[in-house]
Amino acid sequence: MAAVTFRDETAAGGGLDAFSVAGLPATMTVRELIRLRVREEVARHNARPDRRFTGLVQPAETGPDETEPDETEPDGGRPRKARHVDWERQADIAERAFLSNGFFVLVGDRQVEDLDEVVDLGGDPEVVFIKLVPLVGG
């Protein structure tokens, strides 16, 4: 079983976020990797919805901080309530963004270009997502 580290970078090479997932098969398609990544980050957010959503694709309903009015912030700021995020919707948006060059994916040190390309996960590679534009979808 393989372990993969998913890491985000800016186009300028700055690191943004990273997390690992273990127990994966030896090979997966790029589509499966993208969907797995989105499912994991959404599950982590939905388990603790009190924090800002920082996934590959920001849900369009609420913008970057994934909140809406409900209860007042302790600092007297705008009222906020965390929202549940739908991972399948986010994964569909991420696939479309990949196809329209909204982000690049590197597996190890190699760029992958096709959603159906099978990648070898032996050696527990890093899968790097390089965001070119803010990804908001709906």
Q: Going residue by residue through the chain (138 aa), what tens digit of pLDDT does each one get?
A: 889 999 998 777 777 788 999 999 999 999 999 999 999 999 988 888 766 777 888 776 544 443 443 343 444 444 355 678 899 999 999 999 999 998 999 998 899 999 999 999 998 899 999 987 555 554
> Which structural domain range is residue 114 located in?
2-137
Q: What is the pLDDT of residue 69?
A: 37
For the chain, the domain total comes to: 1
Q: What is the pLDDT of residue 81?
A: 59
Q: What is the pLDDT of residue 90?
A: 94
Q: What is the pLDDT of residue 119?
A: 95
34-41 long-range contacts (CB < 8 A, ≥24 apart) are: 34/91, 34/94, 34/95, 34/98, 34/105, 34/115, 35/91, 35/94, 35/95, 37/6, 37/94, 37/127, 37/129, 38/87, 38/90, 38/91, 38/94, 39/87, 39/91, 40/6
